[in-house]
Structure 1
Amino acid sequence: MRRIKEVLRLKHVQGLPERAIARTLGISNGAAHSYLRRAGAAGLNWPLPAGMTDEDLELLLFPAPRPASQSPQRPVPDWGYVDKELRRRNVTRRLLWDEYRATHPDGFGYTWFCTTYEAWKGRARPSMRQTHLGGEKVFVDFAGDTIDVIDPSNGEVQSMKLFVAAMGASNYTYAEACPSEGLADWIRVHINLFAFLGGAPTFVVCDNLKAAVTNPDRHDPGLNRTYAEMASHYGTAILAARPRRPKDKAKVEVAVQVAQRWILARLRNQRFFSLAELNAAIRILAVELNARQMRDFGASRTELFAELDQPKLTKLPDQAYAFARWKRCRVGPDYHIEIDGH
């Protein structure tokens, strides 16, 4: 609740200037000025009329705007439908507005259409302002939290990393536990990801971890050769997120947070004695997560994936990628080179 009454009291009773009122109440100078200007325009003075409550004062000076949807002559578009259609290739706002006006000739103009859609998008999904085309991108990263696996032979505990991937258009999510963030595990979870999706997207957007990027340059990042070869094998391309540009990978950061809450939190009291057992439990929860209806979209991740992403994926090659590590070595005096101590 705005502190309008206190602003008026300090002005008319204490005689304080606007800046002093703002400092006293801990509000901005602009807010104090706005309250006094609106009160003057409404003809209010001090003391206020008897019985006027803070709620009455708020409603008088800041009346609620009439929603556009209440106008019987101007039907409002279904913004959820507009948002979903914009993730289809070659669908533009202009096309959707033309279709809207064809159905409602007396509808709103194109500028209002675009401005109001942006406002709706900001309310519906404030951390997902980019529009992703179907089948275009999958975002990948590791979660910060880990989950333990116990070796039944000696009781030794190993913390497993959680790999998370999310499709750009549908938010369809894949999760898998692996022992490390090393290159071999990094490649293996990607191979499993593409098998899970049943195809490969146009781009894979990754963070600047060592297994993916050898030179995290903002303009020209150097990719690990094995990672680049794997991408070529599946007909996709790697896009490394720019350093210190969190919006480049905001999609997967949200997916990681969801996975940690939906998967790791639910498994926190369970004990696992093999990586296979752990991943079997993760797969069950991932299926449940993808089947849940998303409130802002009116559909589940699985439904949106089947409609938007899956038809646009590149067909998988006949054979999965065979892992190979490239290493620059110095030839010894005996014409031999050393690889991993051998």
Structure 2
Amino acid sequence: MHDMSDAVHTTKQKAELAQSRKTSTSYAVFLLAGFALLLIAPMFFYPIFLMKLLCFALFACAFNLLLGYTGLLSFGHATFFGGAAYFTAHAVKVWGWTPELGVLLGVAGAAVLGLVMGVVAIRRQGIYFAMITLALSQMFFFFCLQSEFTQGEDGIQQVPRGHLFGLIDLSVSTNMYYFVLAVFVIGMVVIWRFINSPFGMILKSIRENEARATSLGYSVARYKLGAFVMSAALAGLAGGLKSLVFQFATLTDVAWQMSGEVILMTLLGGIGTLIGPIFGAGLVVTLQNYLATSDFPVTIITGVVFMVCVLVFRRGIIGEFYASRFGRMLGFEHRH
């Protein structure tokens, strides 16, 4: 009887191991194919459009780190995105810093803002947490509106891209694109490592059952604050890049609409999935880009797309793909 039980257990373990290998292989193939497409994309698409897509994809993935893996809905992520854009733009234009140092300053500034906002907001849960982040974000917006540092409604214009490490001229669009792509890949690797670390596993347990995580002895508030700061720093990375790509930082970057936009991107792609926010950002940015020159109102079309996706794709587009028969066949049903 024991031999039969051991045999069944061994067979189950082998099946799970085979399934895990199949999933990892499928995932690796998809990621490599996506990376190869991004490498040759400038040959077929306008580089500025591609860079905007990558910046917002990174922004959405940073937000998903908080919402999808920790279960915290923030309405204030524009603070980190726009704040880093201002920090980077000011450092590069006024202080004459190199672009890589300017971006690092933006990341550090966003992390500090995340720490300050997180210490206040983490004390509350649910809708109260969301409202506190929105209120603090609006406070920062009005600070940017009235501050001389941000140049008010004019924003920081004509930001020079400079030379990467003093060698590579980023005023050349192709060079700038591959710099943005490299930073995007680094950001995604950091996110992947974060969510697959013991810290990330604890965050998932907090999302699923906070009371049980507390009963196991974990300091839930500290873990939430850590996730909040990490999400803010990565959002700042996207914002700093964006200010170099478009060579300006304005109030649009810190407005509440920007926070709403990143929520939309994440929900469209699928919360709690690694590549879902990338797909959602790509969909929204593409709609904005190609409808901007048409007679169709962009916000209405985007709203209709969002409504259809919510009704038809309850888990988001990528989330539904994972749960589909084809996704299960490839081993994606439990992939996050």
| TM bracket (short chain) | under 0.3
Larger RCO: 1 or 2 (CA < 8 Å, sep 6+): 2
TM-score by length of 1: 0.27
